[in-house]
């Protein structure tokens, strides 16, 4: 029987358990994308709290692509030394760390698939590779491509939002093209020993069938290319309206299980993971191998250590969303 606290490896990163801190916006970096003491402290506490792997909040990798306040940046080699100190601190607690690379637009404007020219897309693809290369130089164990939650890359997969008439729009082979090109660019820049993950919607509220089919095609293509792990999430509207789901927690389990049954790649399930017993049941009745969460760790950074000592203990997070504050993403009850 598999358990949440099995030790596992992902290319060849060692994880002390199957619980992952999922990416979330912290809003605590400097205005120039540099790391701050407050951000260091957040990750130091997370690393000591027992998670098997940390995925950072979305990080911007071109100087003009920050769209949320307080986003960390990896757009210049001058940032690498800060991150080396950062990754050394996290690794010192026995925890690997993945940097999420996120692209939403330019100059504070949220882009849609219609926004970039073909040349813009080439530059974005190249910049993803450069950002990943800097992350590797800074000591990260890998990067995650953010292609979920209705942001720029997620919209390319949505036939209702992607109205392009060129090789990046229309049929799914075209709509997924930018993501596959980004993966190939990162892999070419960083080599086979560097982890590449993706976060992708298993479905979208607008069209469940089309959303899942887009996810399935993209995951199968990425698996054939050698991606190291896939995190399955869902549309932002669904995350806000979780009561519409057949499960009160681990809400995207059906989509993740269907993908996990078809790809020989570790699948990470995110979305209201709250109870160890529920996660272990999913672990042993599907091919899903990992579980990620973020908001419960805002309230209890030591939650995984608590679960290790008492698997029947409940997470204190009540999913109220009051943690999304202008002064940073922090639980109001702490």
Identify whether the C-beta of residue 194 lies closer than 8 Å to the C-beta of residue 252. no
308 found inside a domain: yes
- 334 in a domain, yes or no? no
pLDDT of residue 243: 45
Q: Does residue 3 sit within a domain?
A: no
The pLDDT, as a whole number, for residue 314 is 87
**1 falls within a domain:** no
Report pLDDT digits (tens) over 234-262: 865 555 554 456 788 999 999 999 999 99
The mean pLDDT value for 262-272 works out to 96
pTM beyond cutoff 0.85: yes
- Contact of 97 with 53, CB cutoff 8 Å: yes
292 found inside a domain: yes
Alpha helices for the chain (secondary structure H): 37-48, 80-91, 118-137, 152-157, 172-175, 177-190, 208-225, 236-240, 253-260, 276-285, 295-299, 303-309
The residue range of the domain holding 125 is 8-329
Bridge partners, residue 106, by sequence: 109
Q: Is residue 93 situated within a structural domain?
A: yes
CATH code of the domain containing 82: 3.20.20.70
* Cβ pair 288, 265 in contact under 8 A: no
Domain count across the chain: 1
pLDDT in tens, 81-140: 999 999 999 999 999 999 999 999 998 899 999 999 999 999 999 999 999 999 999 999
Residue 269 located in a structural domain: yes
């Amino acid at each position: 029987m598999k358990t949440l606290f099995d030790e596992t490896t992902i290319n060849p990163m060692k994880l002390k358990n199957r619980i992952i801190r999922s990416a979330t916006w912290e809003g605590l970096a400097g205005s120039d994308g540099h790391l701050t003491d407050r951000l260091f402290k957040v990750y130091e506490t997370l690393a000591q709290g027992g998670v098997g792997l940390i995925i950072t909040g979305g990080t911007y990798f071109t100087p003009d692509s920050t769209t949320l306040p307080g986003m960390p940046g990896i757009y210049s080699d001058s940032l690498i030394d800060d991150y080396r100190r950062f990754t050394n601190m996290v690794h010192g607690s026995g925890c690997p760390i993945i940097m999420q690379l996120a692209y939403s637009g330019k100059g504070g404007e949220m882009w849609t698939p219609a926004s970039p020219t073909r040349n813009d897309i080439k530059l974005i693809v190249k910049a993803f590779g450069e950002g990943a290369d800097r992350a590797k130089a800074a000591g990260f164990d890998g990067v995650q491509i953010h292609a979920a939650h209705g942001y720029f890359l997620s919209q390319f997969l949505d036939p209702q939002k992607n109205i392009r008439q060129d090789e990046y729009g229309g049929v799914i082979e075209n709509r997924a093209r930018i993501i596959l090109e980004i993966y190939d660019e990162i892999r070419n820049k960083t080599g086979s020993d560097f982890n590449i993950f993706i976060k992708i919607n298993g479905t979208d509220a607008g069209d469940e069938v089309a959303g899942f089919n887009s996810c399935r095609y993209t995951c199968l293509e990425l698996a054939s290319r050698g991606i190291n792990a896939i995190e399955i999430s869902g549309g932002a509207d669904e995350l806000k309206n979780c009561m519409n789901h057949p499960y009160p927690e681990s809400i995207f389990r059906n989509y993740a299980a269907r993908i996990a049954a078809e790809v020989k790649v570790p699948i990470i399930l995110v979305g209201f993971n709250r109870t160890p017993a529920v996660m272990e049941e999913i672990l042993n009745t599907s091919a899903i191998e990992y579980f990620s969460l973020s908001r419960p760790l805002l309230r209890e950074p030591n939650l995984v250590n608590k679960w290790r000592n008492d698997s029947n203990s409940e997470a204190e997070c009540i999913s109220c969303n009051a943690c999304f504050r202008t002064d940073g993403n922090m639980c109001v009850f702490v």
